[in-house]
C-alpha cells in the first residue's frame, strides 16, 4: 500500500483536526462537516479512507519519540498496514483503518502515569483501548464515514471482540486486527523486547504463550514464516511444546 503524500500545511491542519473532541464531532454534525471542509479542502479528491489514513498519520507524526528515524507510532501504524496487506490483503476498509489506528497517539498516555504492577498495567491498557477507539472514530467521522462505521472501528479497537477463549467464537474482523498486531510484535518488537527486559527464558516463554493464545491458526502459520532468528525461534518452540 503506497503512502499518501501530505504537504506540511495539510499535515499541520490535520493534526489540529485530530484534536477536536469526538463528542463535539458526533453530536454536532454541522460543526463537524464545517471543520472537515476547512481542514481537508485540498484532499477532497481523495476517498474517505485516504483522508482517514492521512489524518491518523498526521496525528502519529507528532510522536516525539523516534524509531529508526521516524516518529515511533507513525512507523508502527505503517508496519501494521504493511503486515495487514501481507497477512489479510482482502480485509475490509474498516479493518484496515483499525490496523492503522491501533496505537494512535499512544505516547500521550505513558505507562508511568499509572501505578506499578499488574493492576496498574491492566488499567493503563484498557484505558488505551478506549482512547484509540475514540480517536479513530473522531477522525473517521470528520473524514466522511457514517457513525455506524465509526462505531464499528471503535469496537474493533476495544478488544471486546477477542475475549472468547476459543478463536472460532471471536469477532472475525477483531481477530484480524489482533493477529496483525501480534505478527507486528513478533517481527519488529520481540527481539528488542528480549534485549531490553531482564527476564528469564521461562518468563519470555510465558510472554510468547500469552501472545500465541491471542492469535488465530492462520496467524500461527504466518508467525512461523516471519524469518525470525534462531534464538527467537528457539523460544517459540519451547512456548509451543
pLDDT tens for 16-69 read 555 444 444 444 334 344 444 445 554 555 789 998 998 899 889 889 999 999
CA-closest candidate to residue 98, choices 152, 172, 30? 152
**Taking 60 as the threshold, does the pLDDT of residue 130 lie above it?**
yes
pLDDT for position 171? 95
pTM: 0.81
In this structure, what is the dihedral angle of CA atoms 80, 205, 162, 144, given to the nearest 10 degrees?
Answer: -20
pLDDT for position 28? 37
Give burial (CB, 10 Å; 0-12/13-18/19+) of 68.
exposed
Work out the pLDDT band at 13, boundaries 50, 70, 90. Answer: low
Q: For residue 135, count other CB atoms closer than 10 A to its CB.
A: 23
**Taking 60 as the threshold, does the pLDDT of residue 110 lie above it?**
yes
pLDDT for position 119? 96
Q: 236, 208 in Cβ contact below 8 A?
A: yes
60-89 average pLDDT score:
95
Domain layout of the chain by residue ranges: 1-158, 166-241
pLDDT tens for 187-211 read 999 988 888 777 788 888 999 999 9
Query: What's the chain's average pLDDT?
Result: 84
Instruction: Quote the percentage of the chain above a pLDDT of 90.
Output: 60
Q: 22, 134 in Cβ contact below 8 A?
A: yes
Q: 206, 193 in Cβ contact below 8 A?
A: no
Q: Sign of torsion, CA 140 175 103 131?
A: positive
Give burial (CB, 10 Å; 0-12/13-18/19+) of 212.
middle
pLDDT for position 90? 98
pLDDT for position 211? 94
Amino acid at each position: 500500500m503506497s503512502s499518501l503524500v501530505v504537504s506540511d500545511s495539510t499535515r499541520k491542519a490535520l493534526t489540529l483536526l485530530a484534536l477536536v473532541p469526538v463528542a463535539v464531532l458526533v453530536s454536532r454534525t454541522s460543526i463537524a462537516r464545517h471543520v472537515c471542509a476547512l481542514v481537508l479542502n485540498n484532499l477532497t479528491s481523495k476517498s474517505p479512507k485516504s483522508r482517514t489514513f492521512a489524518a491518523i498519520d498526521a496525528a502519529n507524526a507528532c510522536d516525539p519519540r523516534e524509531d529508526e528515524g521516524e516518529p515511533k507510532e507513525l512507523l508502527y501504524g505503517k508496519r501494521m498496514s504493511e503486515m495487514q496487506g501481507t497477512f489479510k490483503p482482502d480485509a475490509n476498509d474498516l479493518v484496515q483503518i483499525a490496523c492503522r489506528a491501533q496505537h494512535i497517539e499512544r505516547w500521550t498516555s505513558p505507562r508511568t502515569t499509572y501505578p506499578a504492577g499488574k493492576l496498574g498495567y491492566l488499567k493503563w491498557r484498557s484505558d488505551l483501548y478506549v482512547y484509540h477507539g475514540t480517536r479513530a472514530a473522531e477522525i473517521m467521522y470528520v473524514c466522511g464515514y457514517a457513525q455506524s462505521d465509526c462505531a464499528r472501528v471503535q469496537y474493533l479497537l476495544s478488544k471486546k471482540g477477542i475475549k472468547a477463549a476459543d478463536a472460532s467464537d471471536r469477532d472475525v474482523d477483531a481477530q484480524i486486527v489482533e493477529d496483525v498486531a501480534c505478527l507486528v510484535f513478533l517481527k519488529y518488537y520481540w527481539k528488542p523486547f528480549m534485549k531490553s527486559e531482564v527476564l528469564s527464558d521461562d518468563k519470555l516463554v510465558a510472554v510468547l504463550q500469552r501472545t500465541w493464545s491471542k492469535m488465530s491458526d492462520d496467524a500461527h502459520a504466518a508467525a512461523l514464516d516471519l524469518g525470525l532468528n534462531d534464538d527467537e525461534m528457539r523460544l517459540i518452540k519451547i512456548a509451543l511444546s
